[in-house]
Chains A and B, each alone.
Chain A
Amino acid sequence: MRTSEPRASLPGLARAALLLPVALAGMALLACTRGPSPERAEQVFRFRMHEDPPTLDPALSNDQFSEAVILNVHRGLVELDPETLEIRPAVADSWTISPDNRVYTFHLRDGVRFHNGRPVTSQDVAYSLRRLLKKETRSPRRFLLEPIEGAQEFTDGTSDAVRGLATPNDRTVVLRLAKPFAPFLSELTMANAAVLPREVYDDPQKAYLRAPVGCGPFRFGRWEQSNFIELLAFDGYYGGRPALDRAVIRMIENKTSALQEYIAGGLDSLDETPDENDTAMMAKVGQEVHKYPFMGTGYIGFNLSLPPFKGNAALRKAFNYAVDKKYLWEVLIPGGNIPANGIIPPGIPGHDKDLPGYPHDEAKARSLLAQAGYPAGKGLPPVALWVNTGEGNRQIASQIQADLKTIGVTIVIREVDWAAYIAAVSGTKDNAGQAQMFRFGWYLDYPDADAILRPLLHSSNWGPAGNFGRYKNPEFDALVDKALAVTDPKERAELYRRAETIAVMDDAVWIFLNYYQASTLYKPYVKGVVLSPLGEFRLPLERLRIERGTH
């Protein structure tokens, strides 16, 4: 089904009033020169997202769809260049780090304004960071700021101020950490640490959820639920007005519909590409496919707080050996992913290409299953595997179902929409959620093994904070924590390798499925595309321009 093309957000009359002088001028020019209209065509970039983003509140965001919008509307003190993966100045144009690696002093850039016109001050930075830490905010990512001295006391309510957060003047922010923490600056680049205007975000009615205000290159236009989100160029952006006038994010869940829409010209980019065996389709758009590695790992999580996986590593290993990852990614769904042997994706310091992992081995799977107490699957009730809606997920889940059936295990697939899925998988701190098994993918927010091991497996992020599998191993925690204080890259990588080996080979915390490879379609007239190892949804829209040639 074709969705209707969203139009400009101005009401009809206002639009007519605005266009009238332009039209008159155009006619006058036409009369003089009789040449082509010198008017610059509107620059619009339309890309596809599967579903509505779950939230537009930066503090609450914990997924790539939300971040795709937030990172274009908002800016934090620093930003991560999605191309080079370097940390770059954003709202702060420079910073210094004390010799003991504990005190970070940020100097704010002049002329940064929010979309409502107000200049950004150090007070706004302090407000935003405190908001992320506040208990009432219920941010799943408050841990990002935990290294700041006094952060925990502030969250607990035992202190009214964050001890390690100071604003000596309007243009300076000082953050003091309790102890050195190597990835701290990287963490500040994340969407959650965006600088927000207090007057908008203190609204008890939470109007900002549907009309966010930030200081990024695009201001928020409109949001038609399940249809599209429109972003408009912000004239006052400190980095200069973006070349695009508008960006339209269209929600199209179905891959086939999205592909047809791309071919029909309703989308300028698409995050999914045709099946490589589909020669007819590849002939049409094959030239527009861009393939590039990106930092992410796909897996099937086990809920270690729920039976049958609780305390049964042999069972988890049996499941791992039973699933044929090579067939899955090289034959069934070729072209997109690399079979995984562990957690840390290639390219990230700490990735271990020699980790044995769990190559397909039915005999081993059977013997481990018996060792786990379920010979040939006897006595094991059906296990639920949760996935969010989508043919891709259904195909993966069905293949895993078929693979496990061969060793006598019955899998029941629960296919629900993203919001219901996240609720079932995350549960609460005290409630383990409903999902016994779940398919999940994680894209690293910054190029560091800590950005995958900590959020997904460290016990401090137990439950809804990201450790959905509820894994807790003090030895693993200690290694990951130790790596943070180490500055020697070799030693750090070695610590991460050891932590990974524990989680993979000893504890088999997931079914380790795949390392991601991105495959995205871009129309040839879209220029300035960044093929980011952070994934296609980390596209910096402010660098794009449309060059269709003149008409």
Chain B
Amino acid sequence: MFVVCALLAPLLPASIGYDPYAQVAPRSVSPPTPPSRDNWLGTDTLGRDLLSRLVFGARISLEVGVLATAIALLIGTALGAAAGYAGGRTDAFLMRATDLVLAFPAPLLALAIIAAVPEPETTPLLRSLPHPSVGVVFLVLGCLGWASIARLVRAEFLRLREQDFAQAAQAMGAHGARVVLRHLLPNALRPLIVVATLGIGGNILMEAWLSFLGVGARPPLPSWGTMITEGQEYFLAKPWVCLAPGLAILLVVLGFNLLGDAISDRLDTRRRQRVA
């Protein structure tokens, strides 16, 4: 449902008449205003429609979640495959690099790197993105998240490399790249899909956390994390301001985790046989 919301979000202003950036609360009342017929979830601290912002926020969250995971997947698979297939020194070198990345507390490292890019709007590579401040976040999360994927792919490859079909392909004189791409990778896909689905949830959570701390999406972007920060001052008096984005994060992350579990169950042939 959230995916649908995110995709349809640009149509929102036209359909329900609200723009997530417009201050719609009456100018005579201190925002945040409570839920009403016009604003189903009320308005935020600047009098903007909370529901519109929540829906637009879904775009930011999914953008970060999916793109960060895609980047991590790309790097992780490439390095993991290289390590697993080549073995020897290449393997040792790549795995020590992986250990190095895993040894750093990722949230802190992400904070440090993002803080080092104070002006994403003017940084060459990022400037061209639709939301430069969000761009930094998914790039950094992507670049930090590959290590566990690399390990997984390597382990899969080590196992697959020794199996008959791989040995046969090699014996028939197949080129290394062909063996990896045609024979090994498709067989390693299943665990990867599961990890990726779980990763999306994790990255959404991370984006919310960074934005909550004020280093993620910049105002006025309606990131869920930013929305929670803005609402926390009103937590006791007007709880809907931060409960709404909080619940959204909860549901989406839970959704992705359940999806990951479901895919994992589906793909796990051994367990299916047992059940049967």
Binding site for B on A (CB under 8 A): 254-256, 275-281, 327, 331-332, 334, 382, 384, 389, 391, 394-395, 397-399, 401-402, 405, 412-416
Contacts and interface: CB of A to CB of B under 8 A. Distances in A.
B236 A280 contact: yes
B121 to A, nearest CB: 5
Contacts of B10: none
A399 B233 contact: no
A402 B44 CA distance: 13
B230 interface: yes
A401 B226 CA distance: 16
B218 A413 contact: yes
B233 A412 contact: no
B15 interface: no
B23 A402 contact: yes
A399 B230 contact: no
B237 to A, nearest CB: 4
B235 interface: yes
B235 A331 contact: no
B121 A412 contact: yes
A493 B254 CA distance: 66
B269 interface: no
Given A401-B220, A402-B23, A394 B235 contact: no
A399 B27 CA distance: 12
Contact of B233 (A256, A389, A414): A256
A332 B214 CA distance: 21
A401 B232 contact: no
A394 B230 contact: yes
Contact of A332 (B21, B31, B119, B236): B31
A444 to B, nearest CB: 29
Interface string B136-163: 0000000000000000000000000000
Given A278-B236, A397-B219, A399-B46, A331 B121 contact: no
A494 to B, nearest CB: 38
A413 B229 CA distance: 15
B45 interface: yes
Contacts of A397: 219
A275 B233 contact: yes
Nearest to B229: A391
B273 interface: no
B230 A395 contact: yes
Interface in B90-133: 118-119, 121
B230 A275 contact: no
A414 B220 CA distance: 12
B237 A331 contact: no
B223 to A, nearest CB: 13
A60 B121 CA distance: 34
Nearest to A394: B219
Contacts of A256: 232-233, 235
A332 B219 contact: no
B27 A327 contact: yes
B237 A332 contact: no
B219 A382 contact: no
A393 to B, nearest CB: 10
B139 to A, nearest CB: 19
B237 A278 contact: yes
Nearest to B236: A280
A275 B238 CA distance: 11
B36 interface: no
Nearest to B29: A331
Contacts of B30: 275-277, 331-332, 334
Contact of A277 (B219, B232, B237): B237
A391 B31 contact: no
Given A331-B30, A332-B31, A389 B214 contact: yes
Nearest to B215: A415
Contacts of A275: 30, 233-234, 237
Contacts of A401: 219-220
Contacts of A327: 27
B237 A402 contact: no
B224 to A, nearest CB: 16
Nearest to A279: B237
A399 B46 CA distance: 7
Contact of B219 (A281, A384, A398): A398
Contacts of A412: 121, 218
B232 A391 contact: yes
B27 A331 contact: yes
A437 to B, nearest CB: 14
A413 B31 contact: no
A398 B30 CA distance: 15
Contacts of A331: 27-30
A153 to B, nearest CB: 41
Contact of B121 (A281, A382, A398, A399): A382
Interface string B35-52: 000000000011100000
Nearest to B26: A331
The 7 closest A-B CB pairs, nearest first, are: A278-B237, A398-B219, A277-B30, A413-B219, A415-B214, A256-B233, A331-B30
Contacts of A278: 234, 236-238
A164 to B, nearest CB: 45
Interface centre among B21, B29, B31, B220 (most CB of A within 10 A): B220
B90 to A, nearest CB: 42
A254 B118 CA distance: 22
A477 to B, nearest CB: 34
10 contacts: A275-B233, A280-B237, A281-B236, A389-B214, A394-B219, A395-B230, A397-B219, A398-B46, A401-B219, A412-B218
Contacts of B220: 398, 401-402, 405
Nearest to A274: B237
A394 B237 CA distance: 20
Given A327-B27, A331-B28, A414-B118, A395 B46 contact: yes
B118 A281 contact: no
B33 to A, nearest CB: 10
A401 B23 CA distance: 11
A281 to B, nearest CB: 6
A391 B233 contact: yes
Given A276-B30, A382-B121, A384-B121, 14 more contacts: A255-B233, A256-B232, A277-B30, A277-B237, A280-B236, A389-B214, A391-B232, A394-B229, A394-B230, A398-B219, A399-B46, A402-B46, A412-B121, A414-B118
